[in-house]
Structure 1
Amino acid sequence: MQYTLKNNQVTVQVDTFGAEMHSIEHEGMEYLWQADPKFWGRHAPVLFPIVGKLKNGSYRYADKTYQMSGHGFARDNEFELIRATQDELVFELHENEDSLNHYPFHFNFRVSYKLSANKIRVRYDVKNEDEKFMSFGVGAHPAFNVPLKNGKFEDYQLTIKPDGARTFIPLDVPTGTIKVDERKEVTVSTLPLTRALFEQDALVYSSSDEMSVSLTNSIDDHGVTVSWKDMPYFGLWSPYPSEAPFVCIEPWCGIADDQNTDGDLITKFGINELAPDGKFSCEYTIEIK
């Protein structure tokens, strides 16, 4: 079921399935990708309890092997709407019989959307309701239309702030795992959009403590800025070689498996740990122009 947040600037629609945004409208324009399956059949999936892909689609925990698809199972589960106000929606997911077959932890996972003027704050709250330490990742995957209104894909650019040196983490295209041994420091500030930019799949970088990525163009003032704090990685993605009319800006607390991983969930690169009854939260903001 879909629910709506609306003020005099922006209208946001969110579905209980996956707690996923389906629409962001401003001045009669749709900013969010509309999930055409010809290119990619999702809008802005929520990534939990992993981000990215596992090596061979599996991991090991407590001497048992579990299977899990890329980006985890939250995006394919029905959430419960637990709070709805004029400016905020809060959705909740707990473990269930199926999730325990893939992820042996009891948890409470909340996704909230709060609308203020031309900004949407998206917050993730994770609580470990198990008696053991819980290993997890969580992240965002919103896709924005390119072009937003005018021009073509190549008229747009991504501006990363703060600019300067950060770590680039290449992906192994066939497996979707990361090449930790090939990490390198790069200076990145502005990335003009081209199809070839994504020839090697997503661009994955380390985050600064506080940062933003803006999608703008050379024709008009329409654009999107995604900003966040304390989310240590981010990805930029558009399908290649298809000429898909969107680009994703993805802040993450987690990352795909290292291609050299031994498969142990506890030692997985970029994993987060929560003690019993422990709580974790992170958030990002989408600003619409």
Structure 2
Amino acid sequence: MNYTLKNDHLNVVVDTFGAEMHSIQHDDIEYLWQADAKFWGRHAPVLFPIVGKLKNGEYRYNDKTYKMGGHGFARDNDFELIKKSADELVFELRDNEDSLNHYPFHFVFRVSYKLVDNKIRVRYEVKNEDEKFMSFGVGAHPAFNVPLKNGTFEDYQLTISPDEKRTFIPLDPPSGTLKLDERVESQVSQLPLTRALFDKDALVYTSSKEMKVSLTNKLDDHGVSLTWKNMPYFG
């Protein structure tokens, strides 16, 4: 089921399935990718309890093998809407019989979306309701329309701040796993968009304590900026 948040700047639609944003509109411009299945049939999936893929799609825990698909299972589960106000939606996912077959932990996972002027503040909360240590990963995977209004794909660029050295970790396209033995130091502040830029899958870097990545273009002021704190990696 879809729920809408609206203020003077933004109109945002979020689905209970996957707690996934389906639309971000400003001045009648749709900023979020509209899940064209010919290319990629999602909008902005929430990634939990892993980000990326596992080697051979499986892992070992307490001498037992568990299978899990890429980016975990939260994106393919119905969340419960536990709070709704004029400017905020809070969704919740708890462990269930199926999740325990892939991830043997009792948990509560909450995702909240709050409108603050022309910003969407996203918050992830993970609670371990087990008596044992629980490893997990959380990630955001929003896709944005390019071009937004004017120009072509090549008129856009990504600007990364702060401009400092960080580690680039290449992906192995067939398996989707990280090539940790091929890590290199890199300093990149701008990435002009080209069709070939992602030929070898996502570009993964270590993150600073506070980060900002902006998608902008040469022709107008339409763009998107993402900021975050305390996330160890971004791609």
Q: Same fold (TM over 0.5)?
A: yes
SS in 2 for 1:143: coil
Alpha-carbon distance in structure 2 between the residues aligned to 1:203 and 1:139: 15
2:121 corresponding residue in structure 1: 121
Task: List gaps (5 residues or longer) in structure 1.
Answer: 236-289
- Measure the CA separation in 1 of the matches of 2:183 and 2:61: 27
**Matched AA of 1:37:** A
2:25 equivalent to 1:28: no
State yes or no: 1:217 paired with 2:220: no
Please state whether the residue corresponding to 1:108 is helix, strand or coil: strand
User: Residue 5 of structure 1 corresponds to which residue in structure 2?
Assistant: 5
Q: Tell me the secondary structure at the aligned position of residue 154 of structure 2.
A: helix
Equivalent residue number for residue 155 of structure 1: 155
For residues 26-175 of structure 1, the aligned pairs below 5 Å read 26-175=26-175
The residue that corresponds to 1:15 in the other structure is: 15
- Number of residue pairs aligned between Structure 1 and Structure 2: 235
Aligned-residue offset at 1:199:
1.2
SS in 2 for 1:4: strand
Q: TM-score, normalising length from structure 2?
A: 0.99
1:165 Cα deviation from its structure 2 partner: 1.0
What is the alpha-carbon distance in structure 1 between the residues aligned to residue 162 and residue 132 of structure 2?
38
* Paired AA for residue 117 in structure 1: D
Name the SS for the 1:83 alignment partner. strand
1:130-279 correspondence runs (5 A): 130-235=130-235
Percentage identity across paired residues of the two chains: 79
The residue type equivalent to 1:92 in the other structure is: E
Tell me by how many angstroms 1:164 deviates.
Answer: 2.2
Q: Secondary structure at the match of 1:198?
A: coil
What amino acid is aligned across from residue 216 of structure 2 in structure 1? T
- CA deviation string 1:8-29 (max 9, x = no partner): 1101000000000000000000
Distance 1:40 1:200 in 2: 16
For the aligned residue pairs, the C-alpha RMSD in angstroms reads 0.5
Higher relative contact order (CA 8 A, sep 6+): 1
Q: If the length of structure 1 is used for normalisation, what is the TM-score?
A: 0.81
1:274-285 matches, cutoff 5 A: none
SS at match of 2:72: coil
The amino acid that maps onto 2:62 is: A
